Structure 1
């Protein structure tokens, strides 16, 4: 991490002018910058050259420079630049104005299901290319899936990517602990299957709750590791009520604690995702209410409780063309227990999502 105030907007580093900081972490900082020679905007990752082997710190640049795929961030340039008696490693790559997919989250801390699936399908194509070149990404997470100019998903960050000449499992240089597959914890190896595991966790987080997995990890790391080994990181109650069974099956297979039970390749994941047909989606608005949407209507529902402790479920729909609001009587129910209410709510929401 760079010391405060070393980098500021307008600072000139070699041929780059810093514009604004767009990311930070233990790795250093990422800035939106201008390449004054090429007269274009780029993303510039800046790290302090520590006592670590310089080759290790340039690893990401060497990997990213070899990649040429529309769903992978391309790295164009890397060098060591001196500034205020520090040697800074500067890595120039494509600037993606849309930023990470997490910027698309609704107030409920998830991304609309149709948008999330499309981003994951795109990023998976990039992952297929990485695997074809015998690289394991090892850091697939929502923050590393960028949103391109046309809404496409672009996989980024090769800082802990590993190369395997024969595509066999290898020891990683480092790990993002909340997304560690069980075999990383037990054997310290990564492979195509660990990338698939991380892809499944990322898909779950994007469509259900971006913070749930990291919160579980932070609350009790020992229990988290135990749950990982048992395949209990994600429970059935963790899913949003509108997630269709087909998507649950894909996620559960991708994150299976036994690598042999997971998908065999990223292509297999993408093929199953491409079979999903959606009619609509749901988000949670700023007031904490679920709001549904399809081509013709917006949807909502109200829940009330009577004096006997039973519930009424009252859905409504609003025409996008006329603005006319009407009760969705087909799905309205009264006298429901809490268990029945949960089922009625899920069935209604799924009826909007499923084609």
Structure 2
């Protein structure tokens, strides 16, 4: 058997992605041999504790080939770095998408079923991902969600446990704080946090950590184990109860009450049939809207003298005529909780 060393040359074009839980450099490059643009993940050799870990992520990607798992093109190394080469998906990540706008419930279900199909596949291979978050879910040219970044992933041992003490801080599962042994239930908890962000906005977890004054790992541990974080009672009014229940079950502190496999989650997501096309804008003038029967139904709030009014209108898309839906217009709210409850009722009655 002959071992041969060859050169793989590329031209670095520029960085891509963001710094959420960053543990490597990812950039766009032109592969000179293929004359193609690829994504290259560069990892410093000095950060690996064992030689056998150098190409672990590359081997995982190759072993777990699936339509909803990032494809590996090749892996290589020089004196200082390990390089993994993967296809370039111009649409970017789910993180990029939900930074730009809120998703409809229909979109949340669609993208979730996509990447959960990939998660179910790696679990069937005896692997846990352990870094599931919107940044690590890419959208390909057909708008299919693809799971990527297996840098923290580990294979389960004969007891169904993987040793991995590291996790992206915001997505820390409760098991991280009791032992380094992780299971597929850790992935399920992280899936719950990912869906929570898809439903309530990409900044929601950061905002809650700030409100709880969590600025170190000990405070995070206390917040997670006391179930103060995440706030499982907070959801935007257009999120249907079935979806809330799925997320809450995924985030159960007691692992016996959590989903024990991803297929169960996928089945429950597939049964959601409410509020599918309501949209949330997040601005002060028009909060929620739905296109239905050639009309646009809009719900907004307006602050007058320290109190909020709810205004519901219907706009005919052909004539452009807008009328108030007086049945759903109300005044004088001083509690945001009551406003959210009333908007939830309006949305439910206008599905």
TM-score > 0.5, shorter chain as reference: yes
Give aligned pairs, total.
Answer: 335
Question: Which residue number in structure 1 is paired with residue 243 of structure 2?
Answer: 247
Task: Give the deviation of 1:165 after TM superposition.
Answer: 4.3
Question: Which residue number in structure 1 is paired with residue 30 of structure 2?
Answer: 34
Please list the CA deviations of residues 47-105 of structure 1 after superposition, one character each: whole Å capped at 9, or x if unmatched: 222163343242211211212111110112111135xxxx2221101221111112222
Question: Which residue number in structure 1 is paired with residue 346 of structure 2?
Answer: 348
State the alpha-carbon separation in 2 of the partners of residues 261 and 269 from structure 1. Answer: 13
Within the candidate set 275, 300, 312, 2:271 is matched to: 275
The answer to whether the Cα contact below 8 Å between 2:287 and 2:301 also exists between their aligned partners in 1 is no
The answer to whether the Cα contact below 8 Å between 1:76 and 1:92 also exists between their aligned partners in 2 is yes
Q: Name the CA shift for 1:302/1:193 in 2 (closer, same or farther; >3 Å).
A: closer
Task: Give the deviation of 1:194 after TM superposition.
Answer: 0.8
Task: Give the deviation of 1:267 after TM superposition.
Answer: 0.6
> How well do the aligned residues superpose, as a CA RMSD in angstroms?
2.6
Is the counterpart of residue 234 in structure 1 residue 230 in structure 2? yes
Is the counterpart of residue 95 in structure 1 residue 88 in structure 2? yes
The answer to whether the Cα contact below 8 Å between 1:106 and 1:284 also exists between their aligned partners in 2 is no
The answer to whether the Cα contact below 8 Å between 2:103 and 2:279 also exists between their aligned partners in 1 is no
Please list the CA deviations of residues 300-322 of structure 1 after superposition, one character each: whole Å capped at 9, or x if unmatched: 23434667x76542201223344
Q: Where do residues 295-306 of structure 1 align in structure 2 (5 Å cutoff)?
A: 295=292, 296-304=294-302
The answer to whether the Cα contact below 8 Å between 2:130 and 2:187 also exists between their aligned partners in 1 is yes
Is the counterpart of residue 68 in structure 1 residue 65 in structure 2? yes
Question: Which residue number in structure 2 is paired with residue 213 of structure 1?
Answer: 205
Question: Is the partner of 2:256 in helix, strand or coil?
Answer: helix
The answer to whether the Cα contact below 8 Å between 2:93 and 2:136 also exists between their aligned partners in 1 is yes
Please list the CA deviations of residues 189-238 of structure 1 after superposition, one character each: whole Å capped at 9, or x if unmatched: 21111111000110001110212223444641434312311333232553
State the alpha-carbon separation in 2 of the partners of residues 238 and 80 from structure 1. Answer: 46
Task: State the TM-score, normalizing by the size of structure 2.
Answer: 0.86
Question: Which residue number in structure 1 is paired with residue 193 of structure 2?
Answer: 201
State the alpha-carbon separation in 1 of the partners of residues 170 and 222 from structure 2. Answer: 13
Q: Name the CA shift for 1:274/1:59 in 2 (closer, same or farther; >3 Å).
A: same
Task: Give the deviation of 1:22 after TM superposition.
Answer: 0.6
Task: Give the deviation of 1:287 after TM superposition.
Answer: 5.6
Structure 2 residue runs without a partner (length 5+): 1-6
Task: State the TM-score, normalizing by the size of structure 1.
Answer: 0.85
Question: Which residue number in structure 2 is paired with residue 10 of structure 1?
Answer: none
Q: Name the CA shift for 1:225/1:272 in 2 (closer, same or farther; >3 Å).
A: same
Question: Which residue number in structure 1 is paired with residue 11 of structure 2?
Answer: 17
Task: Give the deviation of 1:153 after TM superposition.
Answer: 1.1
The answer to whether the Cα contact below 8 Å between 2:132 and 2:194 also exists between their aligned partners in 1 is yes
State the alpha-carbon separation in 2 of the partners of residues 167 and 270 from structure 1. Answer: 25
Q: Where do residues 69-218 of structure 1 align in structure 2 (5 Å cutoff)?
A: 69-81=66-78, 87-105=80-98, 110-166=102-158, 168-172=160-164, 174-217=166-209
4+ residue segments displaced more than 6 Å: none
State the alpha-carbon separation in 1 of the partners of residues 297 and 223 from structure 2. Answer: 37
Question: Which residue number in structure 2 is paired with residue 4 of structure 1?
Answer: none
Task: Give the deviation of 1:150 after TM superposition.
Answer: 1.8
State the alpha-carbon separation in 2 of the partners of residues 152 and 241 from structure 1. Answer: 27
Q: Name the CA shift for 1:95/1:311 in 2 (closer, same or farther; >3 Å).
A: closer
The answer to whether the Cα contact below 8 Å between 1:117 and 1:203 also exists between their aligned partners in 2 is no
Task: Give the deviation of 1:337 after TM superposition.
Answer: 5.7
Q: Name the CA shift for 1:157/1:350 in 2 (closer, same or farther; >3 Å).
A: farther
Structure 1 residue runs without a partner (length 5+): 1-12
The answer to whether the Cα contact below 8 Å between 1:14 and 1:81 also exists between their aligned partners in 2 is no
Within the candidate set 55, 60, 73, 1:58 is matched to: 55
Question: Which residue number in structure 1 is paired with residue 317 of structure 2?
Answer: 320
